[in-house]
Amino acid sequence: MTRYCVIGAGPAGLATLKTMLDEGHDVDCFEKSDAIGGHWNHDYDALHLITSRDVTGYEGFPMPQEYPLFPHRDHMLDYFHRFADAFDLKGRITFNTAVESVVPLPTDGPIGSAGWRVTTSDGAVRDYDGVLVANGHLWDPKIPDIPGEFTGTQVHSGSYRNTGDIDGKRVLVIGSGNSGCDLAVDAAQQHFDTHIVIRRGHFFQPKTFFGRPRSELAFLTEFTPEEQDLIARLMMRLKVGTHDDYPGMPEPDHGTLAEGPPIVNDLLLYWIQHGRITVRPGIERFDGHTVHFADGTSDEFDTILWATGFHASLPFLDESLLQRRDGIPLRVGAAVVPLDLEKLYLIGMIGARGPQPPIYPIQAQIAAKMIAMHESSAGGFRPLAGPLTSSQEHEWRIDILRHIWLEQVDRTHDALRLLSHVPA
């Protein structure tokens, strides 16, 4: 009988586990912590979604209407527990058990075609017909290499909880993505002398237009993605102005929302105009508590909050099996399949813009379709990763426009239909 392994019981792992159980598969799911929910268990206290309640849940399992329009971290964690309880998933998860290695079984065929051997932290070694990796991409902190040494307190956004983690009164936030904006606002609202490094200008998108989330403005669906981009920028200009209206803010070096990162925050701009947050340029070097900036200025800080992202790490896989670009594993099949690796599926190694939970079942269903094609073939294997690797664009991004990723989903379903008619 075939057996499959799911790594991780965060939002992607839960969706994957449910999909595999719905398809009738024998599944082992390993979670290295003692709880479901992944990073939502330890994200910073000020975290709220930038997507709205009514579009962020899994398909067929909407978020409760008693949640606020933009749920808090605790609401998200509650939602994932409700989902797991509704489908009796917790009893199928082995907690406090980390996956330490995933190794392809020996074969004369393509890598992974015979399945994978999984070793876990309890010392057990198990062979699986396929492995679905859902360990997330928001847990391995990335900190850039800047000359010199900062001798004050340093906290990465992945470890930051609240302003109790800040020493002293002068705070420098490095990184101006959504987490960086949140951390700067959190510090400013607690009366810290707050500064934020913004090297590249952004379009700061409000969470709502006319009191409603942008994704829920029905009239926008009548337009193409390019037209929606233009309309949104026009509405933003009316609501928040331009970079010239915020002291120190650099001009965006891109002309459309699609070309830059999706920064959704109202309060950063509010506190800049109220003098609580100061915008600083890039950093040249550190010297003790002194930070030297690219414009020739320098200043003293007590604490640095790093909001500089995460590595896309797969520590249980031999790196020689992966091909990377900009540190991200290259993938095909709607970002599910690592190049040329059969029967190994990456669920959640994508951040198509917009709500994230709906992405995971779509990827899990693609993996389940591939698994069904393998199982229905003589010998339990049909070449899929190889043909997809040779025929599809190699995806290197995590941040990707949603309509582009959905086009990849459609092309993958088309490709699998064609491959199903090719003799195995």
pLDDT in tens, 275-327: 999 999 999 999 999 999 999 999 999 999 999 999 999 999 999 999 999 99
Strand partners, 282: none
DSSP state letter for 31: -
DSSP state letter for 396: -
Tell me the Ramachandran region of residue 211: left when phi exceeds 0, alpha when psi lies from -120 to 50, beta otherwise: left
- For the cut 90, the answer to whether the pLDDT of residue 214 exceeds it is no
Separation of alpha carbons 300 and 171, rounded Å: 9
Q: Where in the chain is the domain with CATH 3.50.50.60?
A: 4-139+310-419, 143-306
Token pair of 273 as six digits: 């105009």
Q: Which fold has domain 143-306?
A: FAD/NAD(P)-binding domain (3.50.50)
Q: How confident is the model at residue 52 (pLDDT cuts 50, 70, 90)?
A: very high
Distance separating the N- and C-terminal Cα atoms of the chain: 20
What pLDDT sits at residue 224?
A: 95
Give the residue among 193, 156, 199 at the shortest CA–CA distance from 176: 199
CA of residue 162 relative to chain centroid, distance: 21
Query: If one looks up domain 4-139+310-419 in CATH, what number appears?
Result: 3.50.50.60
What pLDDT sits at residue 423?
A: 81
Residue 137: count of CB within 10 angstroms of its CB: 21
- For the cut 90, the answer to whether the pLDDT of residue 419 exceeds it is yes
| Model pTM score | 0.95
Strand ranges inside 64-139, DSSP E: 93-94, 99-104, 116-120, 125-128, 130-133
For residue 332, give the amino acid letter.
Answer: V
Q: pLDDT tens, 167-181?
A: 999 999 999 999 999
Query: Between 73-86 and 11-22, two packed helices, what is the crossing angle to 10 degrees?
Result: 20
